[in-house]
């Protein structure tokens, strides 16, 4: 199983360090083979010893250069970061990243051998149209993406379930993962209002290879609970 924590715009450099220290003491009990990823804000990127993989929530597709407000490869290399989240719905919707732009970013980090956690997810109006529309919508989010990339992990995060406290039902997750797995032989995470109260039943669903957790991951003990329960 893969357990990934997306801090979004939460935590500081100082609190991230403390968080990882706490988490490491708690996840000694994790199952062999399980992998833990932390995506802190860019200001908290650093090198940590221990059984967690640190990734970037975002970066620009350049070594360095004139891209005000962005970080590039050079800033990630300083901390040996080799994992990145691409395509998160908040970047698509709030930051206006288009599929073309996302695909370019994907190709760039693929060419640099990054492990890529690629996020997809449908808005509520698509979910309301039924499962067929959902799958069609999700598959369209792979336009321009090399789905055969060996270091690709996909995260299915229905937009209406993110930060709302309302996770998709077990049936919705199961059906969607099953449909995606027909065209995608990659690890597939679920994200969207995952918390200790529902994590166990979600990871038990066939086709779910792990979790991408936002709000409920911000507390190290809470996140550790989802990993070790
Ligand atoms: P929440 O767990 O807060 O719903 O966020 C999920 C998410 O967007 C992780 O990338």
Neighbour order of strands in the sheet with 53-54:
53-54, 35-39, 2-6, 210-213, 188-191, 152-156, 115-120, 83-86
- Residue 121 CB less than 6 A away from ligand 1: no
Cα(66) to centroid(ligand 1), Å: 31
Domain ranges of the chain: 2-228
Cβ-contact 226, 213 below 8 angstroms:
yes
pTM: 0.97
Per-residue pLDDT in tens (0 to 9) along the chain, 229 residues = 999 999 999 999 999 999 999 999 999 989 999 999 999 999 999 999 999 999 999 999 999 999 999 999 999 999 999 999 999 999 999 999 999 999 999 999 999 999 999 999 999 999 999 999 999 999 999 999 999 999 999 999 999 999 998 889 999 999 999 999 999 999 999 999 999 999 999 999 999 999 999 999 999 999 999 999 8
CATH homologous superfamily for 2-228?
A: Aldolase class I (3.20.20.70)
Question: Does the Cβ of 87 fall within 6 Å of ligand 1?
Answer: no
In the chain, DSSP finds a helix count (H) and a strand count (E) of 9, 8
Point out which residues pair with 116 in neighbouring strands. Answer: 84, 152
**What's the CA gap between 85 and 107, in Å, rounded?**
13
Q: How far apart are CA 119 and CA 138, in angstroms?
A: 10
Mutate to test the pocket of ligand 1, among 41, 56, 163, 189 (most ligand atoms within 8 A of CB): 163
Residues sharing a CB contact under 8 Å with residue 112, sequence separation 6 or more, in sequence order: 73
């Amino acid at each position: 199983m893969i357990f990934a924590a997306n801090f979004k715009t939460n935590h500081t450099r100082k609190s991230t360090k403390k968080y990882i220290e706490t988490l490491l003491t708690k996840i000694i009990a994790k199952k062999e083979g399980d992998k833990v990823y932390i995506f802190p804000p860019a200001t908290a990127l650093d090198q940590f010893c221990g059984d967690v993989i640190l990734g970037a929530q975002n970066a620009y597709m350049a070594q360095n250069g004139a891209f005000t407000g962005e970080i590039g490869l050079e800033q990630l290399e300083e901390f040996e970061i080799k994992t990145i989240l691409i395509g998160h719905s908040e970047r698509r919707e709030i930051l206006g990243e288009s599929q073309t732009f996302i695909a370019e970013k994907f190709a760039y980090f693929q060419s640099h051998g990054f492990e890529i956690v690629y996020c997809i997810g449908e808005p509520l109006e698509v979910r309301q149209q039924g499962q067929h529309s959902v799958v069609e919508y999700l598959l369209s989010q792979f336009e321009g993406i090399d789905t055969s990339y060996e270091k690709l992990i996909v995260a299915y995060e229905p937009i209406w379930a993110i930060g709302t406290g309302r996770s998709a039902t077990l049936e919705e997750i199961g059906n969607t993962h099953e449909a995606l797995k027909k065209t995608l032989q990659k690890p597939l995470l679920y994200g969207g209002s995952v918390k200790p109260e529902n994590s166990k039943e979600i990871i038990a669903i066939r086709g779910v290879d792990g979790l991408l957790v936002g709000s409920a991951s911000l507390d190290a003990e809470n996140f550790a609970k989802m990993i070790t329960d």
